[in-house]
Every structure is written in structure tokens, then in C-alpha cells.
Amino acid sequence: MLKPDRTFRDQQYWSGDSKPHTRRDGTPITLREWKSHCAECGRLFSFWRPTKRAKFDPNRRCEEHRRPGCRVTSRSAKDAA
Ligand SMILES: [Zn+2]
């Protein structure tokens, strides 16, 4: 298994491709692909993040388990309806 490029709160991330992207305000930036295993189901998923982001703020879950505004935290009791 490859060594992860980043570890965020015990979740491992591997960096992949990068590609140019234009933000909504017209600013050209570079996006980098990151891969990780979903915190929910363990499935490999990927997402893109700007390379120049000050804070590494990665997705924790795959598309299927992603819940906008609901982060994986140690106190994840907010999942209840
Ligand atoms: Zn999942």
C-alpha cells in the first residue's frame, strides 16, 4: 500500500492528478485530485481541491454518504434526524 500524502484526523489521503480550473470570479487556479476511503463505508473515492488552499479541508465521505454541512467529527451525534 502506498504511503498517504496527507493524513487528516486519522483519515489517509493520496494526491493524484492536477488540472487547471477557472473559478467563478474568473481567477485561474490549479485543482488537485485527492483520493481517500469513505469514513462511512470505506470505499475509495476522489475529489478535487485547489492546490493553494490555505487549509486542507478534505471530504471525509464518498458521494453516496456525503452530507453537506455535516462533517465527520468525534462528536458526530448530529446524524440523528
Ligand atoms: Zn461511503
**73 is a domain residue:** no
What is the number of structural domains in the chain?
Answer: 1
Angstrom distance (rounded) from CA 64 to CA 81: 18
Evaluate whether residue 43 is within a structural domain.
yes
Model pTM score? 0.75
User: Ligand 1 mean position to 2 CA, how many Å?
Assistant: 21
User: Rounded to the nearest whole angstrom, what is the distance from the C-alpha of residue 26 to the centroid of ligand 1?
Assistant: 33
In a domain, 52, yes or no: yes
Q: What is residue 40's predicted lDDT score, i.e. its pLDDT?
A: 93
9 CA from centroid of ligand 1 (Å): 17
Per the structure, the complete domain to which residue 61 belongs is given by 1-18+26-65
Give domain status of residue 6, yes or no.
yes
Report CA(11)–ligand 1 centroid distance (Å): 13
User: pLDDT tens digits for the chain (81 residues)?
Assistant: 679 999 999 999 999 999 999 999 999 999 999 999 999 999 999 999 999 877 888 999 999 998 766 665 654 444 444
> What per-residue confidence (pLDDT) applies to 67?
76
Q: Is 80 contained in some domain?
A: no
Examine residue 33 and state whether it is found in any structural domain, yes or no: yes
pLDDT of residue 69: 66
Asked, for residue 70, whether it belongs to a domain, the answer is: no
Res 68: pLDDT: 66
pLDDT for 18: 97
Sign of CA dihedral 6, 52, 41, 9: positive
Is 51 among the domain residues? yes
